[in-house]
Amino acid sequence: MDEDLLFRILFISIYAVFAGVRIYYRGQNLGRESEKEYTQKTKAIIALILAILGYFLTMGLWVVIPQTILLFQISLPVLIRWFGVGMAIIGIALTVWIHRSLGRQYSAKLEIQKEHKLIIEGPYSRVRHPMYTTLNLFSISVSLITANLLLILLAISIAIPFFWIARAEEELLIEQFGEEYLEYMKITGRFFPRLA
Ligand code: SAH
């Protein structure tokens, strides 16, 4: 089989599984009542929405009419494209683990649910935002499969607003859980486990 076709099929299949996992867990959490919501439309959220729109648009072009963005195809070593495949699959497995740990506390918005519990187990025992880390590692890895520079750069740009979003989220969680969250912050890393 033509190598490019193989990577195209792998990209579409891996993305479809990832989207299926996300849609499933989002569906599990529909219809709950929120207690407190962070409604501020910050620059970070606007930047994130724009980056995601750009990413999906480019992804659609790459899948359906790749000739339109041929200009951005780079000769990435095949090994790096396979590394992208491996990392993306690991990313899906981690996403399932993280969703199962966060349970009904998960939301696409920054909010506190009714009867919101602080989760400090599983992936949350070492890292405060494992979902954001995994989501971004997944987007970057899956983009490596395409060997399209525009997609890789857009995936990196999606990661940037999360530095601000995580900070805003922590303010909300401190407001809700006070000392308990402050103590939790001391023993965890924001995006990666603490080294010491
Ligand atoms: N930022 C986390 C969670 C993303 S889902 C991560 O990257 O893994 C976003 C929701 O998770 C927010 O509405 C927030 O209220 C909730 N949340 C974040 N950390 C939490 C924790 N340790 N325990 C319970 N809820 C949490």
Q: What is the DSSP string of 32-69?
A: PPEEEE-----HHHHHHHHHHHHHHHHHHHHHH-GGGG
Residue of 60, 191, 97, 86 lying closest to 138 (CA atoms): 86
pLDDT tens digit sequence for 109-136: 889 998 899 999 999 999 999 999 999 9
Question: Ligand 1, residues 169, 182, 186, 187: which to mutate, most atoms within 8 A of Cβ?
Answer: 169
Rounded Cα distance between 105 and 119, Å, is 8
Centroid of ligand 1 to alpha carbon of 120 (angstroms): 10
Centroid of ligand 1 to alpha carbon of 145 (angstroms): 29
Name the residue range of residue 19's domain.
Answer: 3-24+38-105+117-187
Q: Give the model's confidence band at 148: pLDDT under 50 very low, under 70 low, under 90 confident, else very high.
A: very high
Average of per-residue pLDDT values in the chain:
94
Assess whether the C-beta atom of 130 lies below 6 angstroms from ligand 1. Answer: yes
The total number of structural domains that make up the chain: 1
194, part of any domain: no
Assess whether pLDDT exceeds 70 at residue 41: no
Among the atoms of ligand 1, which is closest to the Cα of residue 173? 15
pLDDT tens digit sequence for 74-94: 999 999 999 999 999 999 999
The four Cα atoms 18, 23, 28, 31 give a dihedral, to 10 degrees, of 150
Rounded Cα distance between 107 and 101, Å, is 13
Bridge-partner residues for 148, per DSSP?
A: 73
79, part of any domain: yes
Centroid of ligand 1 to alpha carbon of 4 (angstroms): 38
Predicted pLDDT at 44: 84
Task: Pull the structure tokens for residue 155.
Answer: 């995936």
Assess whether the C-beta atom of 107 lies below 6 angstroms from ligand 1. Answer: yes
Rounded Cα distance between 60 and 98, Å, is 28
40 vs 58, more confident: 58
Q: Which of 5-14, 33-42, 82-91, 169-178 has the lowest mean pLDDT?
A: 33-42
Q: Give the model's confidence band at 31: pLDDT under 50 very low, under 70 low, under 90 confident, else very high.
A: confident
72, part of any domain: yes
Q: How far is C-alpha 88 from the chain's CA centre? A: 11
Centroid of ligand 1 to alpha carbon of 24 (angstroms): 18
H-type alpha helices, the chain: 3-28, 43-64, 78-102, 130-146, 149-159, 162-177, 179-187
pLDDT tens digit sequence for 156-187: 999 999 999 999 999 999 999 999 999 999 99
Question: Ligand 1, residues 102, 107, 134, 183: which to mutate, most atoms within 8 A of Cβ?
Answer: 102
Mean pLDDT confidence for 97-120: 94
Domain CATH number, residue 45: 1.20.120.1630
178, part of any domain: yes
Predicted pLDDT at 29: 83
Centroid of ligand 1 to alpha carbon of 127 (angstroms): 11
Residue of 109, 135, 130 lying closest to 120 (CA atoms): 130
